[in-house]
Each structure stands twice: as structure tokens, then as C-alpha cells.
Amino acid sequence: MAYKTIYPYTNETLKEYPNASDADLEQALATGHQLYQQWRQEKPESRSKILQNIADLMQKKRDDLARAMTYDMGKLLTEAQGEVDLCIWIAQYYAEHGAELLQPVPLKTKLGDAYYLKQATGVIVAVEPWNFPLYQVMRVLAPNIMVGNPMILKSASICPMSVQMFADLVAESGAPAGTLTNLFINYDQVATAIADPRVAGVCLTGSERAGTSIAATAGQNLKKSTLELGGNDAFIVLDDANWDELQKVVPQARLFNAGQVCTSSKRFIVMDSMYDQFLEMLKTAFSQVKMGDPMAETTTLAPLSSKSAKEKLQAQVDTAVAAGAKVYYGNEPVDLPGQFFQPTILTDISHDNPIFNQELFGPVASVYRVQNEAEAIQLANDSSYGLGGTVFSSDLQHAEKVAAQVETGMSFINAGWSSTPDMPFGGIKNSGYGRELSDLGIDAFVNQHLVLKP
């Protein structure tokens, strides 16, 4: 597995990184386990300063980190800067609230007073993707620092520059050796790490295929795992949706990060009375994007992350059209050297179309016409995925009732996807299991140790 930074805007290979050896992995496991033994003797409060130092240094190096992410996978520099800001927020949140979230939980039982402790369990292996190179890492690193679980990171092979820069920053901040060890390893080495008795669990954000493999390895070794996999999120537009607000939300709900977001809205389910108007609104928005240099403030749509990502998305669109889907807008070549994909709108997608139950990871919107609310809910739930979703309506109470009927892990009323440190993140069905962020995220890899006082 080659770890390379290939700038998607110019197709230039900027740097290649050497793979980690088995000896490197053993050293990381030994260092991490030694730190776990130290941390389990200390109170969580002692680690708040580690996170605050990381946050402070990220603030100082904000632009460098952002540029590295743009070089790695092509995202707009402004979006990369926002990602760094979110990472800082997550670190600060757990620095401030982590110790409180890890307090013993009292219980009343028939046998007497009891409580359970929230204790560290050991080294955690994190397998993280390229679409948010730093945010995905911080989501699991920050809570586990507070818990006292050191982390070994295997990042996606296309974003080594930003991830290594972040790992170096963690070390520079004064965090003990083993807090975060970034290794450019392959999946066989990941399996070796998971099987090691010094490893307590594994978290993965990635594809269904990767999740199935990691979960199987974790299960074989009786290790806890959390998975955040793909999504095919439904965006339900009810008859009474506020049109002005809708126009503000919809384009970014699909085009943010060039559409390469697990939780971006991918299936727009629109009532018949608004369908034609909705299509025209979406077409207008898509036609007004400016593709170009992702470092430039005037650019509004970045290239896709890689040549293979572009080829896969194009193959999916071609398959959809061959099976009867209609191209309402887009699907034309882009006369730029980078891995750009023209925003595309697909309609008339039948249930037997191969892409009906596929995630389209890029700026492609699938739009469905429905006659009533029941049909909208049924269509939203007719998916093997269940990560997020949106309901748009002027009646907030009614929107909540509709959202509660959608089989998904997260629902947003009159808004696209968003993430904050104090809201849990995760899905159901083939979108994975477990939660990250908030109090649920900090509990993901703790030993809930019961103590009874008769």
C-alpha cells in the first residue's frame, strides 16, 4: 500500500511516504501499552491539559494544516480551515467536560449502594478515511485521551501529508509518546494489531467492505469495535417547506466537500406539488458553481479526491443512465486538468436501478417524486443505509414526527448535516454501529466497572 500525496487539482505527486515495518508496529504497541499503564493510575483531569495544548497549537498552525488537507484530497481551503476549527472545538470540549463525563455513576440496588467507574481499557486502533483527514481522527482521539486510551492510527493512503503533520503536532504539543502514533501500515498489519492483547478495541470510518473486514477481525479476537460506514441520506421536502430556507440549504447539503461526505444529502424526496420547482432550483444552483483552484477563495466546488474516485462515480452514473435514469442536469466532461466532476441531477431512478441502493460519493443528486408523506417515509426507509437524514417543513412538530419514522441514526429538521462535539454521531443498518462525540463517544471504549458497597 503506497502512501502518496497526489494533489487532485494538478495531478502532481507531491510526496511519497515510506511504509511502516512490523518492527515499527511493535514499537507503537509497546509504547502505547506502557502509556496506558501510566495513565490508568492517573485521574482524567491530568489529561485535560494535553488536549488544550493540542487545541492551542492547532490554532497556531491552522493554515498549514488546512493547506495540507487540500493538497492531500483537494477540498476547498476554506472548508479545510473550517475542519481545523471543528477539531479545535472538539479538543476544547473534551478538555473542559471530559473529566465530568467520566465521573463514577451512582446506582441504587436492592443489595446496597453501588456505582460504576469509567476506566481506560488499553490501546485503540483507529482506521480513518480521507474525506475529513483530521476531523475523523479528532473525533476519536480527544475522548480517548481523556479516558486514558492511547491510539494507533492507520489513515487512508491518499492523505498522508495532513495526517503526519497532525501526528507531529500532537507530539510537539507535549503529549506523552504513544498518545497518538501514526503508522503507514497495510491491512494485514492492522489485523495483527487488532489481534494483539495490548489492543482493547478498534474504530473505523470507511466503506462497508472495510467495515465488514475490520468487524470480522475484531470479533474473532473478542475486541470491541465501532463502525461509521457509508450513507445514502434522504432529504424529505414536505408540501409546506419554507422555500427561501430550502434554497439556502439544499445546494450545500449536496455539494459540501465536493459531495464526498457520508452524511451529505444524496436522495432528495420531494412532494409532487414542489417537484418541478425543486428541480429547477437545484439546476440553477448546480449551474452556478465555480470549479477551479481549491486554494482560491473564489472557487466554490473542489475536485474529487482522486482519479479512482472520479472514475468510480462516473461508472455509477453511467450505470444508472443505462438502467433508465434520466440526467436532468450535468454529467458533462469538465475542461480542467484536475479530478473535477460536473454537478449532476438524476431523476426517474427505478427501484431495480443498480444505483437505487448505492452511495454516490460526489456531487450527484438523486431526486424522487412522491405523492404523499407515507410514500416519502417508505422511500426514505427503503435503503440498506441509515446514517442521517433531513426533513423540511414549516411545521416543526410535524417534521419531528416524520423524522422519528425514518430509520436512521441522525435526523436534522430544516437543515443539512452538521457536527458538534456535544452531539452524538453514528448510524444504523449498513451505516455501522456505535457512536462518536458527546458523552456517548467518550463511553465507547471504557470499562464500566461495577463496585457494590453492601
pLDDT tens per residue across span 424-443: 999 999 999 999 999 999 99
C-alpha–C-alpha distance, residues 79 and 345, integer Å: 23
- On whether the CB atoms of residues 441 and 424 are closer than 8 A, the answer is yes
Burial 193-215 (b: 16+ CB within 10 A, else e): bbebebbbbbbbbbebebbebbb
Q: Average the pLDDT over 242-247 and give the result.
A: 97
What is the gyration radius of the CA atoms in the chain, in angstroms? 23
Helix (H, G, I), strand (E, B) or coil at 359: coil
Query: Across residues 277-288, what is the average pLDDT?
Result: 98
- For the record, the C-alpha cell of 194 comes out as 487488532
pLDDT exceeds cutoff 90 at 99:
yes
Nearest-angstrom CA–CA distance, 44 and 395: 44
Q: What is the pLDDT of residue 138?
A: 99
Q: How far apart are CA 193 and CA 332, in angstroms?
A: 45
Under 8 Å between Cβ of 162 and 129: no
Per domain, the residue ranges of the chain are 3-229+428-453, 234-413
Which homologous superfamily is 3-229+428-453 in?
Answer: Aldehyde Dehydrogenase; Chain A, domain 1 (3.40.605.10)
pLDDT band at 383; cut points 50, 70, 90: very high
Residue environment code for 9-47, b if the CB has 16+ CB neighbours within 10 A, otherwise e:
beeeeeeebeebeeebbebbbebbbbbbeebeeeebeeb
The CA-to-CA distance between both ends of the chain, in Å, stands at 56
Residue 24 corresponds to which cell in the numbers above?
515499527
Per-residue pLDDT band for 326 (boundaries 50, 70, 90) equals very high
Q: Where are the alpha helices (DSSP H) in 173-239?
A: 187-195, 208-220
pLDDT for position 62: 99
Q: What pLDDT was estimated at residue 311? A: 98
DSSP assignment string, 52-112: HHHHHHHHHTHHHHHHHHHHHH---HHHHHHHHHHHHHHHHHHHHHHHHHTS-EEEEETTE
Residue 228 annotated in active site: yes
| H or E element, residue 161 | helix 160-172
pLDDT given for residue 336 in this prediction: 96
pLDDT of residue 94: 99
Q: What are phi and psi of 55, to 5 degrees?
A: -60, -45
- The mean pLDDT value for 357-386 works out to 99
Mean pLDDT value of segment 235-242: 98
The number of beta carbons lying within 10 Å of the beta carbon of residue 327 is 16
Of the pLDDT bands very low, low, confident and very high (cuts 50, 70, 90), residue 375 is very high
**Residue 1's pLDDT is what?**
82
pLDDT band for 454, please (50, 70, 90 cuts): confident
Residue 68 pLDDT > 90, yes or no? yes
Which of these is catalytic: 228, 359, 373, 436? 228
In this structure, what DSSP letter does residue 302 have?
A: P
Segment 246-251 shows an average pLDDT of 98
The residue-averaged pLDDT of 8-32 equals 99
pLDDT category of residue 97 using cuts at 50, 70 and 90:
very high
CB atoms within 10 A of CB 145: 27
Give the mean pLDDT of 50-64. Answer: 99
Q: For residues 250 and 268, is the Cβ–Cβ distance under 8 A?
A: yes
CB-based burial of residue 449 (10 Å sphere; 0-12 exposed, 13-18 middle, 19+ buried)?
exposed
Pairing mode, if any, of strands 224-228 and 412-413? unpaired
Q: How many other CB atoms sit within 10 Å of the CB of residue 88? A: 18
Cα(92)–Cα(53) distance, rounded to whole angstroms? Answer: 9
pLDDT in tens, 304-325: 999 999 999 999 999 999 999 9
What is the rounded CA–CA span in Å between residue 10 and residue 293?
Answer: 9
pLDDT of residue 46: 96
Q: What is the pLDDT of residue 131?
A: 98
Top CATH class of 234-413 equals alpha beta
Number of H helices, E strands in the chain: 14, 20
